Amino acid sequence: MITSTSNAKVKRLVNLRKKRKARDTEKVFLTEGLRMFEEVPEDRLLEIYVTEHFYKKEKALVDAKHKKSGCQMEVLTDTVMNFVSDTKTPQGVLCVVTQENQGEAWLEKELKAPEQVPLIMLLDNLQDPGNMGTILRTAEAAAVTGIIMSSDCVDVYNPKVIRSTMGSIFRVPFVYVENVTDVIRQMKEHGIRTYATHLAGELAYDEPDYRTPSAFFVGNEGNGLRDQVAELADIYIKIPMAGQVESLNAAIAATVVMFEAGRQRRH
């Protein structure tokens, strides 16, 4: 059992929680809580850290995951778990997981020879971890085929993002791209129709036909889409609003258009 917050393993966990560079160097990230522990694929599980109380309560699950993954396991005191955790009331389990997504391979395949009708979310300079995680989770629910992110978006492996995805991080293809405008041009060349959620939209979000290959652009929470990104959209769409509300939260706006596309594709 690890009882000291000055333990080298504990210091490393805190570093991985706080610093993107540390996560990217090791190509790992942290997950916390029972739900995420259940969701984590065994072949990506590297280390398990549990409190005594959690282990006694979930012994069968922990032992099964430990055996299938062949990973390292350590018991932490409640004090140490509180120290390494990103939450105010830790549930007693924390994991180190490999960063592994099929984003680049998915994007190349989607652009060159799409096997299904693409429904893509393109996120431009999105900064809020909660928004990013919510969009990933909602994307899975709305049958989005993948997410493209500008390189200056928030780190998808930020603990707050991971927590908000509720496991969708393991199932939704995503990719960071250095040059968003180049990727948009490639999408258009391959017949993917592009839509910008924009205050200058002429069509309501539920008017276009999204049953064809489609991509939605969602911009920064405060500034919206950058001009060079918005200019490349085929169509500007808006979400009509009552009252004196001028705009919606980025994740809410993304949810509205994703589920409208999903609704159309079910019929």
Do residues 175 and 104 touch, judged by C-beta distance below 8 A? Answer: yes
Per the structure block, which two tokens stand in for 132?
A: 């990013």
Tell me the pLDDT tens digit for each residue of 6-54.
Answer: 999 999 999 999 999 999 999 999 999 999 999 999 999 999 999 999 9
Tell me the pLDDT tens digit for each residue of 96-107.
Answer: 999 987 788 888
φ, ψ (nearest 5 deg) of residue 115? -85, -25
Mean pLDDT of the chain, nearest integer: 94
**What is the structure's pLDDT at 142?**
97
Do residues 173 and 149 touch, judged by C-beta distance below 8 A? Answer: no
Q: Using the 8-state DSSP alphabet, how is residue 171 labeled?
A: T
**What is the structure's pLDDT at 114?**
58
What one-letter code names the amino acid at 232?
A: L
199 or 257, which is more confident: 257
Q: How far apart are CA 92 and CA 170, in angstroms?
A: 21
Radius of gyration of the chain, Cα coordinates, nearest whole angstrom? 20
**What is the structure's pLDDT at 267?**
81
Mean pLDDT for the stretch of residues 221-245: 94
Tell me the pLDDT tens digit for each residue of 139-151.
Answer: 999 999 999 999 9
Mean pLDDT for the stretch of residues 248-263: 96
Q: Which domains does the chain have, with CATH numbers?
A: 8-98 (3.30.1330.30), 103-266 (3.40.1280.10)
Count of CB atoms situated within 10 Å of the CB of 248: 14
Do residues 178 and 185 touch, judged by C-beta distance below 8 A? Answer: no
**What is the structure's pLDDT at 103?**
80
Per-residue pLDDT band at 112 (split at 50, 70, 90):
confident
Per-residue pLDDT band at 113 (split at 50, 70, 90):
low
Query: Quick one: angle between helices 250-266 and 129-141, nearest 10?
Result: 10
Per-residue pLDDT band at 245 (split at 50, 70, 90):
confident
Tell me the pLDDT tens digit for each residue of 170-226.
Answer: 999 999 999 999 999 999 999 999 999 888 888 999 999 999 999 999 999 888 999
Q: How far apart are CA 214 and CA 192, in angstroms?
A: 5
pTM exceeds 0.85 for this model = yes
Q: Using the 8-state DSSP alphabet, how is residue 42 labeled?
A: G
Count of CB atoms situated within 10 Å of the CB of 139: 26
C-alpha count within 13 angstroms, C-beta hemisphere, residue 237: 26
Q: Using the 8-state DSSP alphabet, how is residue 43 labeled?
A: G
Q: Looking at the predicted structure, is the pLDDT value of residue 82 above 70?
A: yes
C-alpha count within 13 angstroms, C-beta hemisphere, residue 181: 8
